[in-house]
Amino acid sequence: MDARLDHHGNPVAATFLKHIVSAGTAVTGSALPAGTQQLVALRTSQINGCAACVDIHTKEAAAAGETPVRLHLVAAWREATVFTEAERAALELAEQGTRLADAAGGVTDEAWAGAAEHYEEDQLAALVALIALNRLNVITRQPAGDYRPGQFG
């Protein structure tokens, strides 16, 4: 599969990507646990059907020490016993925030309250930013499989 757009070869896309990566440091540098960040990014990537993002987030999570069992079960997190209550709340927020068209009214008050029960305001802000960010590669059909952990910074 060929990408629709070369993010690094197009000056507008490259500038945008540079700013997105820079903005992403607000999330990676936040108090939101790194494992939660990767699980949420992986789940939103799965929902969006973005192979490149699934590749990135699976490999980054594994490199950071995430277990294969948890990575394999994130797609079915509701039925899995390997996630904490806080991670479940983050994954629920991620699903509702990604499937906006499926949920009339968007994210429910219950999902927000569930996340707010486990995360402080700065961590919630990081979660929202992370969930909102995960669309670029699926739109431009970036190919998957060649990503190396740490490749983008």
pLDDT of 37-80, one tens digit each?
999 999 999 999 989 899 999 999 999 999 999 999 999 999 99
**9-35 average pLDDT score:** 89
Model confidence at 4, pLDDT cuts 50, 70, 90, reads confident
The overall pTM is greater than 0.75:
yes
Distance CA 57, CA 52 (A): 9
Q: What distances in angstroms separate CA 122 from CA 4, 28, 97, 147, one per listed residue?
A: 35, 12, 17, 29
Instruction: Please report the domains of the chain, with CATH numbers, ordered by start residue.
Output: 11-139 (1.20.1290.10)
48-52, 91-95, 141-145: least confident range:
141-145
Q: Could you write out the DSSP letters of every residue in 98-125?
A: H-TTTSTTSS-HHHHHHHHHHS-HHHHH
Model confidence at 153, pLDDT cuts 50, 70, 90, reads low
